[in-house]
Amino acid sequence: MTQTPPETIYLADYTPPNYLIDTVHLTFRLAPDATRVISRIQFRPNPKAENDQFFLHGEGLTLISATIDGAAVTPQPVDGGLTCPVPNAPFVWETEVEIDPAANTALEGLYMSNGMYCTQCEAEGFRKITYYPDRPDVMAVFTVRIEGDAPVLLSNGNPGDTGKGWAEWHDPWPKPAYLFALVAGDLVAHPDAFTTSEGRQVALNIWVRPGDEDKCAFGMDALKRSMVWDEEVYGRAYDLDLFNIVAVDDFNMGAMENKGLNIFNSSCVLASADTSTDADFERIEAIIAHEYFHNWTGNRITCRDWFQLCLKEGLTVFRDQQFTGDMRGHAVKRIDDAIVLRARQFREDQGPLAHPVRPASFVEINNFYTATVYEKGAELIGMLKRLVGDEAYDRALELYFARHDGDAATVEDWLAVFEETTGRDLSQFKGWYELAGTPQVRVSETWENGVYTLHFEQETQPTPGQSDKVPMVVPIVIGLLDETGVEVVESHVFEMTESVQSTSFNGLKNKPIPSILRDFSAPVSVHRDTTDAERTLLLAHDTDPFNRWESGRILVGQTLAKMATDGASPSTQMLDALLAVARDDTLDPAFRALVLSLPSQEDTSASIAASGRVPDSLAIHRAHETLRQAIAQHMQDILPRLYATMQIEGAYAPTAVDGGKRALGNTVMRLLSQLDGGTTAQAQFAAANNMTQQVTALNCLVEIDKGADALAAFEAQWSHDRLVMNKWFGVQVQMAQPQHAAQVAQRLTEHPQFDWKNPNRFRAVMGALAANSAGFHSEDGASYDLLADWLIRLDPINPQTTARMTAAFETWKRFDVDRQARIKSALNRIQSSANLSRDTGEMVGRILSA
Ligand code: B3K
Ligand code: ZN
């Protein structure tokens, strides 16, 4: 048990900083277990301060000396930092502290990865480097000197003087401490250059460990495309002479947007045809863009406090989604985004971890880097854009950048620029930031005297700490089709603002078929009783690609839920509808692949739970296998030819077009292995000249329990490559038969390459276990126990990664009493482990309070 209950921080308690900073000089004397950090900080009293108390954050620092205006002082240690009497006028504060990067396994602050020094300061890691007002509304100009024997010494901003064993850096743009970064190590650069629309010559580098140079070209190309895109679409040009990206193996998340020195988890930047899948390439491109786009949405305009996290994250995710859509096609991107939102954010909203896009309180802010803040946060931007229109959105953004450049801003500031540009009152819209939960929209229809009316009702279930919900503004894009599938009313936005509301259509000859929530125009769940015939018609004819896919998804999803609960069989009508999509060569292969892939078992479990029943994970697993078998049989005549036509001659290219063909080919291969015992997958595995083909074949073989030889061959081929080996670890656990999943994961933790302190490797095994729905929820509770054991072991060395992975248990209330009891006891065991971190303590406490 944690000794004193950790403090809860409230948005309502925000007060401005008492002291502001003009300039900071930092000197680092690097040594693995005794790095000295000397700071010289020019403070001045904040005219907006509410009192004159001087407080600096600091954690795990050994204070060597402190002075004010050159005179020695003795600061008083207080909880979380120090305090000291200071002059009521500008003053210079200097300290020297000692820290131990080699012992820093939490990967927050200054730490070491493979002998290389690196930092991660967001959200509150800078306080582990030196004493400082570690809050985003204190922005300062940083000058940094690094002394150390590493060949490469990097920090933010533009390079300054350099000599043997030292380098200086100056960042002219005021920034909060969370954007500080330092890297020192034996690194090689993949260099390039870019000239901005303003004529600035920018040197670009991707820094990697020697040996990884050949995996940088794609990331560099993605960076340059991102730079062009932000100039063309948002009018935002880069503002330093240098932009560095560094790849690091030990990293708690994907990447970090430090000013001029982005640090990346190596899995999110290193790419090559041999070692990366199409999905990896797309993810790498999106993350490079995301971090680059933060330069304006996050860095030039930052957040006043951590409650405003969505201000930078929601907007930046929205921007990276737009970018990917422009690069790779909007239809498929929108479907992909909706799949992710539903799988992660709707799941969050349905359980004990539900929270608003802008939370009102937290214990540990790192626990709020969530799908709600990021992905739902991005949906709010999309809704706003749809409500005000594209042109007004552009004007509002212009005003936002002009007015708030250099500011630490709030959600209120953001909404105000839209209100001022459009004259629209956004007070109801603000509810989307403040209320948790997914609105459930129920739709019914009437057809009377030639008037067709759609009736809508919205309701949001209570979420933790929020029992009363009010209606939201929901932009619902609607179109109407006639019974032959011809569109009779084009897409338009119906703005729902009340709990109950209707919209009518005149002048129609016959009762139409509605296509509702086109383009997934709001993060809500739509419920409408309709026939399979209507769904089939929409799947065949809807002009909106999202709803076309959605109709198929509902047909299949409802079938799976019925199969798993009532033992029903798939209807011929549904199988025919899927067959029609499969053989329609006019459709984009990537789109066909999406229609032909089943929803995840987790999706089926969630939808059964949403209908008030207890999901049986094993029955769901069997239903998925049975349906895949039925689809394969129904399509057996066309599958071999379809597979053949999707094969690509010549060199691999990570393009959307080729990737779409591979996606469809691989979906077909998975169906074929239901019929051919894996011969197609075996042949593909043997012949593959790229990782997409190789690892999807491996997946297939493991799924049908014929993976032993391929796994051995894969391990022999790739044991030298840590990123590829993560795939090898992951696939065995995720595709394991449910009854074996825990045992497979347990066995892999004994593998010599299971480096559990590396977050990527830990997630490859334990994340895959949680993602194997039936295996994780196996009746004996073995997976719960195994995950709990490992989280208890990891927490003392890495609280962030531990806390994040506890979300595997967030759905526990869905299950039967036996499983609930087993999960609860696993959670209790975590909660009562000695010295539990604040991070994990908060998460487990919230999950248990369900
Ligand atoms: N801003 C970082 C995330 C920091 C996470 C801190 N626990 C990456 C991103 O969203 O771009
Ligand atoms: Zn971000």
Q: Is residue 667 in some structural domain? A: no
Specify whether 182 is located in the same domain as 325: no
Specify whether 172 is located in the same domain as 32: yes
Q: Which residue among 179, 245, 257, 839 has the greatest number of ligand 1 atoms within 8 angstroms of its CB, and so is best to mutate?
A: 257
Q: Which residue among 127, 256, 268, 297 has the greatest number of ligand 1 atoms within 8 angstroms of its CB, and so is best to mutate?
A: 256
Which ligand 1 atom is at minimum distance from the Cα of 313? Answer: 10
Q: Is residue 615 in some structural domain? A: no
DSSP string, 135-188: STT--EEEEEEEE-S-SEEEESSEEEEEETTEEEEEEEEEE-GGG--EEEES-E
CA of 368 to the centre of ligand 2 (A): 12
The pLDDT score that the predictor gives to residue 279 is 98
The pLDDT score that the predictor gives to residue 3 is 55
pLDDT, the chain, mean = 98
Q: Are 541 and 594 in contact (CB under 8 A)?
A: no
The pLDDT score that the predictor gives to residue 6 is 86
Q: Whose CA is closest to atom 8 on ligand 1?
A: 256
Q: Is residue 726 in some structural domain? A: yes
Question: Does any ligand 1 atom lie closer than 6 A to the CB of residue 108?
Answer: no
Mean local confidence (pLDDT), 90-107: 98
Q: Is residue 443 in some structural domain? A: no
> For strand 451-459 and strand 440-448, is the pairing parallel, antiparallel, or unpaired?
antiparallel
Specify whether 35 is located in the same domain as 169: yes
Mean local confidence (pLDDT), 178-198: 99
Euclidean distance between CA atoms 501 and 471, whole angstroms: 11
Question: Does any ligand 1 atom lie closer than 6 A to the CB of residue 366?
Answer: yes
User: For the whole model, what pTM was predicted?
Assistant: 0.99
Of 434, 460, 489, which one is at a domain's C-terminal end? 434
CA of 292 to the centre of ligand 2 (A): 9
CATH code: domain of residue 762: 1.25.50.10
Give 154's pLDDT tier (boundaries 50, 70, 90). Answer: very high
Of 411, 434, 457, which one is at a domain's C-terminal end? 434
CA of 254 to the centre of ligand 1 (A): 8
Its sign, for the CA torsion 555, 558, 562, 563, is: positive
Euclidean distance between CA atoms 280 and 600, whole angstroms: 19
Specify whether 177 is located in the same domain as 28: yes
Whether the pLDDT of residue 419 is over 70: the answer is yes
Q: Which residue among 245, 253, 294 has the greatest number of ligand 1 atoms within 8 angstroms of its CB, and so is best to mutate?
A: 253
Q: Which ligand is nearest to the CA of 319?
A: 2
Specify whether 43 is located in the same domain as 169: yes
CATH code: domain of residue 91: 2.60.40.1730
Give 5's pLDDT tier (boundaries 50, 70, 90). Answer: confident
DSSP collapsed to 3 states, 533-583: HHHHHHHHHCCCHHHHHHHHHHHHHHHHHHHHHHCCCCCHHHHHHHHHHHH
Q: Is residue 475 in some structural domain? A: no
Total domains in the fold of the chain: 3
Q: Whose CA is closest to atom 1 on ligand 1?
A: 256
Confirm whether 291 is a catalytic residue: yes
Question: Does any ligand 1 atom lie closer than 6 A to the CB of residue 124?
Answer: no
Q: Is residue 791 in some structural domain? A: yes
Q: Is residue 730 in some structural domain? A: yes
For residue 677, how many other CB atoms are within 10 A of its CB?
A: 12
Catalytic residue among 291, 348, 379, 703: 291
Q: Whose CA is closest to atom 9 on ligand 1?
A: 256
Mean local confidence (pLDDT), 765-791: 98
DSSP state of 758: S
Give the residues across from 336 on adjacent strands. none
* DSSP-derived 3-state class of residue 66: strand
Which ligand 1 atom is at minimum distance from the Cα of 365? Answer: 7
Q: Is residue 566 in some structural domain? A: no
Euclidean distance between CA atoms 763 and 729, whole angstroms: 10
Which ligand 1 atom is at minimum distance from the Cα of 298? Answer: 1
**CB crowding 820-829: b at 16 or more within 10 Å, else e:** eebbbebbeb
Whether the pLDDT of residue 261 is over 80: the answer is yes
Of 137, 160, 186, which one is at a domain's C-terminal end? 186
CA of 381 to the centre of ligand 2 (A): 14
Which ligand 1 atom is at minimum distance from the Cα of 123? Answer: 6
Its domain, for residue 361, covers 302-434
Question: Does any ligand 1 atom lie closer than 6 A to the CB of residue 299?
Answer: no
CA of 6 to the centre of ligand 1 (A): 23
Whether the pLDDT of residue 368 is over 90: the answer is yes
Which ligand 1 atom is at minimum distance from the Cα of 290? Answer: 11
CATH code: domain of residue 350: 1.10.390.10
The pLDDT score that the predictor gives to residue 406 is 98
